[in-house]
């Protein structure tokens, strides 16, 4: 339907299509019913004919003049509209063409009641397994078959049963209920001519009814519906041009009058709403342009339609450049921006670095009620200072203020994580624990300030000795702990010895210090928790001090050392170790 068609013609066309559809459906149904009726009537006629033929054939046979039956069948073939007429045995062969039945009857009666034919011919009309033949013989009911001959004309063939009666048993004996069948084929050309006439009458009546309906419908619609609608349409056109004061005249109290009244109320409310929207738009413009966050908005076509001053400041671009480059180029990375706008990523703000700033960006595609794209928007906030403060707070919460190493709390959290990871993956986890020898005496001799400088120097060497993914922690006082992931006991001992030698070799303000170390590794030590692993390393450290300090002790040597210590205690008789500790 053309878009510029007038509403009068559209309504007439729509009603015409609806009426035509209904009338055509009714006509088709009527024709179909008439065709079925004609065909059923023809079938009933054929049924009567075949029954009459079967009864006549039985009468001839009972009279004992079987030779007349053949002539009877041949004469029926000459009847008008009969294409083919055959009397068949139940196997599909034509009867009265050979001596099979005559010989069987003569043999059954014991005399030559019927003279045999001089010439015999076997004519197979239907196959023994013909569905119509089998159905008629099995049920004893006529079977209609619709076919098409070689000329394309439709043919109705009736396969009707010749039922056995009591009188036939004298010659044919007791046999099946169906003695034979009649095959009668007639042309359906007369029937089709009748059907064609029905169709022509139906189509003619349909055309006349449709024409009258269309003319009457068009006239009535024009008077009662189209003209009032055209008035409302004209009023809508004036309102769309900006004339919100225009009113539609109300000429009736029906639905069209109610529509005109509703339209007048709508224009009044629209005027009020329009004035309110203008005021709200002014407020929103003030808020957007005064906001500290950068705001950029596009329309449904992707064109940038709004850029506030904060966005110009954060992006360091003027508004006209942002508009010219387009929304994907806001942060000079169109692929990343398109990814942020995609459905799987549009879940929350993302953080990115741009021109020395850390920006929190919330970019999303705006969808309408029918899920069509109505635009895109980006909200950008400068969180550089927030991130700096956040990092500083994180650093203060996880590091020791004096040495800069990780503190005890971070040590416990990391060790817990690494211990379970090692148990899950089957890798090794080593712990190295040490403290500064005679540190209390050093503090008492040289003062706490000097002691703090020593702690800082030891911590610096400690951190530099470990790998970048190892963890250096201050355990407390002058005690330090190193967490060494993917490190065996041999590896931990090697790291500990290297650190011990470096501490022994350097000086702090001309003063020398040494350290004592203990190392343990999981699963080489069958410990069950991170705390047990720390305790094992602590016992190894204790043994280093017992053996004279400035040395490293492996946790796997603890059983021998503990046994030697217990033996020395028993020999001393005091129940204490050899050093009295």
Q: What is the CATH number of the domain that holds 59?
A: 3.30.450.20
Phi, psi of 63 (to 5 degrees): -75, -5
In this structure, the answer to whether residues 370 and 436 fall within a common structural domain is: no
Residues linked to residue 304 through DSSP beta bridges, in sequence order: 298
In this structure, the answer to whether residues 55 and 138 fall within a common structural domain is: yes
Residue ranges of alpha helices (H) inside 63-110 are 66-76, 100-109
Model pTM greater than 0.75? Answer: no
In this structure, the answer to whether residues 45 and 154 fall within a common structural domain is: yes
In this structure, the answer to whether residues 34 and 124 fall within a common structural domain is: yes
Question: Residue 569: how many CA atoms within 13 Å on its side-chain side?
Answer: 12
Domain ranges, residue 168: 7-194
In this structure, the answer to whether residues 425 and 327 fall within a common structural domain is: no
In this structure, the answer to whether residues 563 and 419 fall within a common structural domain is: yes
In this structure, the answer to whether residues 259 and 159 fall within a common structural domain is: no
In this structure, the answer to whether residues 286 and 316 fall within a common structural domain is: no
| 226: Cβ contacts below 8 Å, ≥ 6 apart | 7, 8, 11
In a domain, 258, yes or no: yes
Taking alpha carbons only, the member of 361, 359, 356, 331 closest to residue 345 is 361
Considering just the CA atoms, what is the radius of gyration of the chain in Å? Answer: 56
In this structure, the answer to whether residues 456 and 551 fall within a common structural domain is: yes
Phi, psi of 522 (to 5 degrees): -115, 135
Residue that terminates a domain, selected from 320, 352, 387: 387
Taking alpha carbons only, the member of 453, 430, 429, 432 closest to residue 442 is 453
In this structure, the answer to whether residues 466 and 539 fall within a common structural domain is: yes
In this structure, the answer to whether residues 354 and 303 fall within a common structural domain is: yes
In a domain, 108, yes or no: yes
The count of structural domains within the chain is 4
Query: Hey, is 104 helix, strand or coil?
Result: helix
In a domain, 94, yes or no: yes
- Percent helix, strand, coil in the chain, to 5, is 55, 20, 25
Q: ∠ at Cα 99 (95, 100), nearest 5°?
A: 75
Helices 7-62 & 189-221 angle (0-180, nearest 10): 160
Residue that terminates a domain, selected from 158, 174, 194: 194
Residue that terminates a domain, selected from 354, 387, 420: 387
- Cα 399 from Cα 409, distance rounded (Å): 9
In a domain, 1, yes or no: no
Low-confidence ranges of the chain (pLDDT < 70): 1-10, 54-81, 98-99, 102-103, 105-106, 108-115, 117-118, 165-175, 222-225, 244, 246, 250-256, 343-347, 557-581
pLDDT for 578 equals: 32
In this structure, the answer to whether residues 452 and 309 fall within a common structural domain is: no
Q: ∠ at Cα 506 (500, 507), nearest 5°?
A: 130
Q: What is the CATH number of the domain that holds 453?
A: 3.30.70.270
């Amino acid at each position: 339907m053309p878009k510029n068609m007038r509403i009068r013609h559209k309504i007439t066309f729509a009603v015409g299509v609806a009426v035509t559809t209904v009338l055509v459906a009714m006509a088709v149904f009527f024709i179909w019913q008439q065709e079925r009726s004609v065909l059923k009537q023809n079938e009933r006629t054929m049924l009567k004919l075949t029954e009459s033929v079967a009864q006549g054939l039985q009468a001839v046979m009972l009279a004992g003049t079987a030779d007349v039956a053949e002539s009877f069948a041949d004469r029926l073939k000459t009847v008008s509209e009969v294409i083919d007429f055959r009397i068949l045995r139940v196997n599909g062969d034509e009867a009265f063409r050979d001596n099979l039945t005559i010989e069987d009857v003569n043999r059954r009666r014991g005399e030559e009641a019927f003279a045999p034919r001089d010439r015999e011919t076997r004519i197979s009309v239907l196959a023994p397994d013909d569905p119509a033949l089998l159905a008629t013989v099995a049920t004893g009911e006529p079977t209609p078959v619709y076919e098409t001959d070689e000329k394309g004309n439709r043919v109705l063939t009736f396969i009707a049963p010749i039922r056995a009666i009591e009188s036939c048993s004298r010659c044919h004996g007791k046999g099946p209920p169906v003695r034979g069948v009649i095959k009668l084929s007639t042309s359906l050309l007369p029937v089709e001519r009748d059907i064609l006439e029905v169709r022509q009458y139906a189509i003619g009546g349909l055309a006349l009814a449709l024409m009258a309906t269309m003319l009457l419908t068009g006239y009535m619609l024009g008077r009662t519906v189209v003209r009032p609608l055209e008035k409302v349409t004209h009023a809508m056109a004036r309102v769309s041009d900006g004339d919100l004061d225009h009113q539609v005249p109300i000429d009736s109290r029906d639905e069209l009058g109610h529509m005109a009244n509703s339209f007048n109320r709508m224009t009044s409310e629209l005027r009020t709403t329009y004035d309110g929207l203008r005021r709200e738009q002014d407020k929103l413009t003030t808020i957007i342009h005064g906001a500290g966050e950068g705001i950029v908005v596009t329309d449904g076509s992707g064109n940038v339609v709004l850029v506030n001053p904060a966005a110009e400041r954060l992006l360091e671009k003027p508004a006209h450049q942002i508009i010219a480059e387009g929304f994907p180029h806001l942060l000079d990375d169109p692929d990343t921006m398109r990814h942020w706008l995609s459905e799987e990523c549009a879940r929350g703000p993302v953080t990115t670095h741009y021109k020395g700033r850390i920006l929190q960006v919330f970019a999303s595609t705006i969808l309408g009620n029918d899920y069509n794209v109505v635009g895109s928007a980006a909200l950008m906030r400068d969180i550089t200072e927030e991130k700096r403060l956040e990092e500083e707070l994180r650093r203060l919460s996880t590091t020791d203020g004096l040495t800069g190493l990780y503190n005890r709390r971070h040590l416990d959290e990391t060790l817990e994580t690494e211990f379970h990871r090692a148990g899950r993956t089957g890798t090794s986890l080593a712990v190295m624990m040490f403290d500064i020898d005679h540190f209390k005496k050093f503090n008492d001799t040289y003062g706490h300030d000097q002691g703090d400088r020593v702690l800082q120097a030891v911590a610096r060497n400690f951190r530099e000795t470990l790998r970048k993914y190892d963890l250096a922690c201050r355990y407390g006082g002058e005690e330090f702990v190193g967490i060494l992931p993917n490190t065996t006991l041999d590896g931990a001992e090697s790291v500990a010895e290297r650190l011990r030698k470096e501490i022994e070799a350097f000086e702090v303000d001309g003063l020398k210090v040494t350290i004592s170390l203990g190392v343990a590794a999981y699963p080489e030590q069958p410990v069950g928790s991170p705390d047990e692993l720390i305790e094992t390393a602590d016992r190894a450290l204790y043994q280093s001090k017992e053996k004279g300090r400035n040395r490293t002790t492996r946790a796997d040597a603890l059983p021998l050392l503990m046994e030697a210590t217990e033996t020395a205690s028993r020999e001393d008789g005091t129940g204490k170790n050899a050093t009295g500790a």
